[in-house]
Structure 1
């Protein structure tokens, strides 16, 4: 008799009814959220192809140990569950790799029913800080490769099979940053907005094939605290908290990380340790000039086209801003810092429980929502933002109408052609075809 593992997190999942076990593909199966979701899916009797970040000797990824522990647990407690799980290396930034794992799922399980795009990372820094060097500009590109082009790749790889089946469900784990801009998270927010716009358009295109799409907007903590965070150096004094009152997200994260017992001051520098079973910072090698006027950072740069990493060295020039207290904060070091927030397993289970419940309740539903906001806090934030946008649109419409040329005020040119190619200037632009139709009484 199969011995079942205890479910991760609180609450019970309400899976939609279906005639047979479904096949899931998880793009981030080795994340803590991916592991918890896989546990629920296997307990329900479904099949899972879990995308696992390829191992890299140059970067210690705490998710690797957590996922290996999960596999060992399955082998000991429930071998039957292990037969329905197929872990595969996945670099979501590479289209060929995405196509390979989809083909593997089809060969192994026979079909693909649900795709969950749950790979993410966050780049922290003001816009001018992100533009300080080639290295920081590369971080922005990598943010889009992982958070936008990666999900696009895996979706495009799944679509041919879903069209052939005439069924499928694409679920994208987004965040309320898809509606709300956040100071200090411009790269993360812009990639999120781009992905949601892509999915909104895709939904119309694939609906005739009975393929459903759902965007799940989780709270900002889900995407940030369960994945890799990279912070660029706070080199511009203009954005120091002492002189700029904009609530940069770096300050919020610093306040949170400093309260975690598993993270020592200094962020992702060498020697930082974390308790077993929790996330630990990525090692970053850096040297600081004795004059404090420049910082030379040697880090591994994730290439959008390759799974391996290459070394580059760049020099950042500082403004005359030297805050010894700030440099002791995890994400305010004078070098680029990358780390996984060292949350305990108990904290992580509480944090992701509501998101796991939403994924299992919506996944495979016959008529799923196009967009679902997870949590009352997110709903309140989005409602407030939409209220503000509505007021701005009213002002925009009034200003546009004020400079619009009315149809009655336009005198047709000789010969009946009718003046300009457009029926208005400086505001709401109307094509000439609509203008002529209006004159003709249509």
Structure 2
């Protein structure tokens, strides 16, 4: 697991600026959101934390961690006056617009929008297309990871454009570069929002609005957010000969090593598990993701474990947020950088291997038409109004 060693927690470093900045966090109660808010408030900046009211009011571990943070805010001098909590479910356009308006009304501006809302839907394509319930999970995945961030980004652009200043940061993962078996819909939603952001970055650049994609390790995206798993199919288990390392099994093994996991989530009856097959393996953990029903939960990480896990990502975010010349994309951690470099190396090698295939497709090659040599792009075409349009001026290199 990333950051699992004994390396010291990096000290946050912020870009220099002349006045305190205002941050809007889309998931203020997420582990990354809480940690960023703590660092930002300690630095002297302002924070608007968006939360889903229903999740704040329940008694989950995630809710309790956020309430502990609020207690800390009350104790720290000056923090309370620089923190605003707003209801925000980014899947709802109206709540996005209301959160922007509330932030501007309270602190007069928004300098940095930090999109850190995410959810992981786990299952193979076939498992997720098994019935209407699992197909709904696919739609929910895109509502949370793609349409939600798109909603809040669209809502904040007019305000930042009016200021001719702003920085949008979108937290994704290296799954935006690397496909992962068993995480097809999670990867697809990540690739979708990154493609959206890459395009929007060009549109907003003339207004001095920056956009940065921060790709954290897969553990950040999965272990610090809600996990929803589709029922398993026997064809995709090891006992039935499936050899690909489906992410479900990897994550189950990881969850089973968490302290106290068996007490909070007891193992189900053996008949309710598709894998593993042996009783000794079954007793090693609850195997939350290998049941014959939909499982949805937040991984029960301890506070200390979570802080160590996200420290590297939070350090990167504080160094990038509000920077005068931030990167368009930043990959957190040497392992992630190495993985992406390896993927790009493979793509480059394949391009070289098949370069002749691409070079042979030349649409400007001379053809013999009606007994004379002519380029197929030298044909004058009349539109419906009778005006002449010369295609050669458009397509000729």
Q: With structure 2 as the length reference, what TM-score do the two structures score?
A: 0.87
- The question of whether the paired residues in 2 share the 8 Å contact of 1:35 and 1:67 is answered with yes
Distance 1:421 1:64 in 2: 67
Identify unmatched segments of 5+ residues in structure 1. Answer: 1-8, 266-270, 274-285, 296-317, 423-430
- The question of whether the paired residues in 1 share the 8 Å contact of 2:367 and 2:373 is answered with no
Map Cα deviations across residues 284-327 of structure 1 (whole Å, 9 max, x no partner): xx9x9xxx7xx9xxxxxxxxxxxxxxxxxxxxxx9x99947587
- The question of whether the paired residues in 1 share the 8 Å contact of 2:377 and 2:392 is answered with no
1:49-60 aligned at under 5 Å gives the runs: 49-55=48-54
SS at match of 1:230: strand
1:28-427 aligned at under 5 Å gives the runs: 28-55=27-54, 61-75=60-74, 77-234=75-232, 236-242=233-239, 243-264=241-262, 272=265, 323=277, 328-404=286-362, 407=365, 409-411=366-368, 413=370, 418-419=375-376
Distance 2:356 2:391 in 1: 22
Distance 1:322 1:353 in 2: 34
Question: How many residue pairs get matched?
Answer: 374
Partner of 1:433: 392
What is the RMSD computed on CA atoms of the aligned residues? 2.8
- The question of whether the paired residues in 1 share the 8 Å contact of 2:364 and 2:376 is answered with no
SS at match of 1:55: helix
- The question of whether the paired residues in 2 share the 8 Å contact of 1:169 and 1:213 is answered with yes
- The question of whether the paired residues in 1 share the 8 Å contact of 2:377 and 2:396 is answered with no
Cα distance, 1:238–1:15 mapped onto 2, change above 3 Å: same
Could you tell me how far 1:175 is from its partner in structure 2? 0.3
Could you tell me how far 1:10 is from its partner in structure 2? 1.9
Map Cα deviations across residues 124-150 of structure 1 (whole Å, 9 max, x no partner): 111100001111110110000000011
SS at match of 1:80: coil
SS at match of 2:238: coil
Distance 2:304 2:166 in 1: 34
Map Cα deviations across residues 83-137 of structure 1 (whole Å, 9 max, x no partner): 1000111111001100000000000000010000000010111110000111111
Distance 1:437 1:167 in 2: 40
Map Cα deviations across residues 157-185 of structure 1 (whole Å, 9 max, x no partner): 10000000000000000100000000000
- The question of whether the paired residues in 2 share the 8 Å contact of 1:413 and 1:419 is answered with no
- The question of whether the paired residues in 1 share the 8 Å contact of 2:29 and 2:66 is answered with yes
- The question of whether the paired residues in 1 share the 8 Å contact of 2:377 and 2:395 is answered with no
Distance 1:80 1:58 in 2: 26
Partner of 1:303: none
Could you tell me how far 1:155 is from its partner in structure 2? 0.5
Could you tell me how far 1:404 is from its partner in structure 2? 3.7
Distance 2:188 2:204 in 1: 24
Cα distance, 1:413–1:218 mapped onto 2, change above 3 Å: farther
Structure 1 runs of 4+ off > 6 angstroms? Answer: 414-417
- The question of whether the paired residues in 1 share the 8 Å contact of 2:128 and 2:230 is answered with yes
Cα distance, 1:410–1:61 mapped onto 2, change above 3 Å: farther
Could you tell me how far 1:366 is from its partner in structure 2? 0.4
Distance 1:139 1:229 in 2: 11
- The question of whether the paired residues in 1 share the 8 Å contact of 2:26 and 2:88 is answered with yes
Could you tell me how far 1:434 is from its partner in structure 2? 6.4
Cα distance, 1:341–1:322 mapped onto 2, change above 3 Å: closer
Distance 1:403 1:434 in 2: 20
Partner of 2:23: 24
Could you tell me how far 1:62 is from its partner in structure 2? 2.8
Identify unmatched segments of 5+ residues in structure 2. Answer: 1-7, 380-389
SS at match of 2:396: helix
SS at match of 2:262: coil
SS at match of 2:54: coil
SS at match of 2:50: strand
Q: With structure 1 as the length reference, what TM-score do the two structures score?
A: 0.78
Distance 1:323 1:421 in 2: 68
Distance 1:27 1:410 in 2: 58
Greater helix share, structure number: 2
Distance 1:250 1:204 in 2: 37
